[in-house]
Chain A
Amino acid sequence: MDTFAALMHGFAVAITPYNLMWSLIGVTLGTAIGVLPGIGPALTVALLLPVTYGLEPTSAFIMFAGIYYGAMYGGSTTSILLNTPGESASIVTALDGHAMARKGRGAQALATAAIGSFVAGTIATIALTFVAPLMVKLALLFGPAEYFALMVLALTTVTAVLGASLSRGLASLLFGLALGLVGIDLQTGQARFSLGIPELLDGIDVVIVAVGLFAVGETLFTVSRHRFETEELYDLKGSKWMSKEDWSRSWKPWLRGTLLGFPIGALPAGGSEIPTFLSYLTEKRLSKNPEEFGHGAIEAVAGPEAANNASAAGVLAPLLALGLPTSATAAIMLAAFQQYGLQPGPLLFDNNPELVWGLIASLYIGNVMLLMLNLPLAGVWVKLLAIPRPWLFSGILLFATMGAYTLNNNIVDVAILWIIGIIGFGMRVFNVPVAPCIVGLILGPLAEQQFRRALTISQGDATIFVTHPISLALLLVAALLVLLPTFFRWKSLRDERAQASLDATHSTKAENV
């Protein structure tokens, strides 16, 4: 009840016209930078910090939170329409979202992403309001061994994106894992595969690889086939609204995505990509028509989009309750707290209730604003696809190149983008799926670091992974996820064969008689 009263007080702070204005500015700005590749919420908040110096801290944080949530909404737009994910959390959205756009269902994809983000954002904000301290306690139970097990679990997502050919899928995965090795090894400080190029010391940015493989590779491929294909790629006919079927296929993924996103977002080393992977995997496993995945299944947009928004709220739990930044944006928000002389942590709720609850209340309001902003925009955004194709394609390539440069003000990133883009084109020509590569690139380095950290702490004793209950449970779930479908396939195959041989014996018998 105390929490409830505090929240109501928070609403009283957030709903003043002055603070509402900052919230609106924040969400609008956030949506805009979410759409632009290369400019993330972290950089935006950093750029705004000097400007907001004279502002009341509460107003400033209301705006920052708006930017943060807004960027999560906006990130899906370019993923879906242009196959150009602006940040790593919306990479999974591109897989099926862009396929939907190609089928003329771009508006529905944007709508399910926006509504899913709203549902997830709201539920996760409620969770943040009432169970943040509990969540944080759970999060601290995760040590390196548990994280490693979580990464292994997330790696099983690969089974959902491997595609028709096992060997091609695995080749793509291994390419991703190899790319993930580039850079300084954190545990020993040794440079690996950096070819003497200092820009490679920090590894290859996931967003650059994703944009290279998806946007550049795919666009080059489509252009190269242009002459041979007559079909209209981007069909804009039909209703812009989600049909009854779309709704009934979306609502469960939204809820499941939220359930995965919030707790993993609250983990200090969870990250926003992992719940999107797990959501994709879950939806494919539970779907009645898994063969649609990769070709525009609405569940594959609804789930991951809900998951990344829920994880955005999850990130705020350790930030407010512990002063623990778990993402780049959280780190810059922490710096902003310190600029105002505030110390996020166990005492922040007691020392600055006005700020904390005003901020949390503004998240509810920001979510409503974002839904109102983004739903009508979905209809406008899809018009992008009506641009004549040569212009659209050159636009995508330009957009991708610019984004790669602004990411780190570095020309080397542009070169990497195009090398990866040409590799992506080759993969597309030889029918090698690109998604496993991304999964490997994101999870490989995380898993490696946690694995080695766990072994360092345990003095090389590998049983640490099975003696820790959480780690063991996660590993078992991962094993089941890989083995069960294989078992069922084997069983149904055996049954079929038995049936077939039974039929065969019957027919031979019949012939003999």
Chain B
Amino acid sequence: MQISRRAFATLIATATTAALLMQNPAQAQELKSLHLMAPSSPGSGYDQLARTIQIILQDNKLTGPVEVQNVAGGGGTVGLSQFITTRPRHPSGMVIGFALVGGVLTTKSAVTLDQTVPVARLMGEADAIVVPAGSDIKTLADLIERLKADPTKVSWAGGSIGGVDHVAAGLIAKTVGVDPKKINYVVHAGGGEVLASTLGGHATVGISGYEEFRAQVDAGQLRALAVTGEERIPGVAVPTLKEGGVDLAVMNWRGIMAHPKATEAERAALEKAIGDLVKTPQWKDALAKRGWIDTYLPAKEFGSFLADEQKRVETALKEVGLL
């Protein structure tokens, strides 16, 4: 598999380079190839973003061939440490997101995101809080009331500890005046398990990316109480936390970082390729299909956002008692 793919990639690389040289020598400074690290297993959020980028960059000839590598583990920190410590043979980028910001903190990782260079924030995903259709919790207000009465009686089925689901649950509690350390958060291994636990009524509420629940919400098997983003998800009639009276917005986001050893020219080329990527109709189409929200930020703005986000996540994790 590997060899034939590489042979295939080389073939394409040769073909594109040749074509480029013949056509327009001035454009030769665009990336001839790109290596993308997805610090999680195939099928996960990072992986989906990496492979979407791969397809769009290649199809639109924004770069040469793109290779995606999955290195899972430690909330993304294993991939991060491999990314930073390996001397790249190609221009390299890495997909990162909210979970990795938390992962670096909770695993007390020796490598941090500050050792990489921001390129762009690309997309966001709002969480949704859902209950089974038969639950007597009808609105967000009902949930808050229960939470205030006895936080331990409300079990939250959600994703990994310190991840966006956990942080959102903790911040909701804090915002309504409940001790975030007291919430009864039940960790599940992924969105699928959260869905099963919620549908089966084993946990009081489920909290995960809205896409995980979309099919069941549409079919009337789950009731969405709120989405956690600043604004409603386009085309989805679920109120935000703020509309429900909880002054809070938390969103999962993903972006792309460049290798610390990347040259100035390489970084500029990567920034340009990604800047062109977000303008393609194919990217808009991918956003719509996957229910991602366009939260593009170019390198500089992304850098300052990331600095703020790291502080915010650290505070939130301290408040839920993780750090």
Contact = CB atoms under 8 A, between A and B. Distances in A.
Interface in A440-468: 449, 453, 456-457, 459
Contacts of B190: 325, 331
Contacts of A43: 42, 70
Contacts of A339: 52, 289-290
Nearest to A341: B289
Contact of B219 (A49, A50, A345): A345
A346 interface: yes
Interface in A7-57: 33, 39, 42-47, 49-50, 53
A433 interface: no
Contacts of A33: 1
Given A198-B110, A346-B216, A184 B199 contact: no
Given A45-B42, A140-B199, A201-B107, A268 B160 contact: no
A189 interface: yes
Contacts of A406: 2
Contacts of B109: 198
Given A268-B192, A343-B215, A457-B203, A191 B42 contact: no
Contacts of A184: 74-75, 107
B184 interface: yes
Contacts of B153: 459
A409 interface: yes
Interface stretch (A115-123, A141-149, A484-492, A501-509): A141-149
A344 B162 CA distance: 28
B322 interface: yes
B70 A409 contact: yes
Contacts of A142: 196, 200
A457 B69 contact: no
A331 B192 contact: yes
A131 interface: no
B216 A322 contact: yes
B43 A334 contact: yes
Contact of B161 (A44, A187, A410): A187
Give the one of A191, A345, A406 with max B CB within 10 A. Answer: A345
Contacts of A323: 195, 215-216
Interface string B231-264: 0000000000000000000000000000000000
Contact of B42 (A318, A332, A343, A348): A332
B186 A453 contact: yes
Contact of A189 (B48, B72, B162, B289): B162
Contacts of B73: 198-199, 201-202, 408
Interface in A162-200: 184, 186-189, 191, 198-199
A269 interface: yes
Contacts of A334: 43, 192
18 contacts: A39-B1, A44-B1, A47-B1, A140-B199, A187-B161, A187-B187, A189-B160, A198-B110, A201-B74, A268-B192, A268-B196, A269-B196, A331-B44, A339-B289, A347-B215, A410-B78, A453-B188, A456-B184
Given A269-B189, A339-B289, 11 more contacts: A189-B106, A189-B162, A198-B109, A199-B74, A322-B196, A334-B192, A339-B290, A346-B221, A409-B69, A410-B78, A459-B184
The 3 closest A-B pairs by CB, nearest first: A345-B215, A201-B74, A143-B202
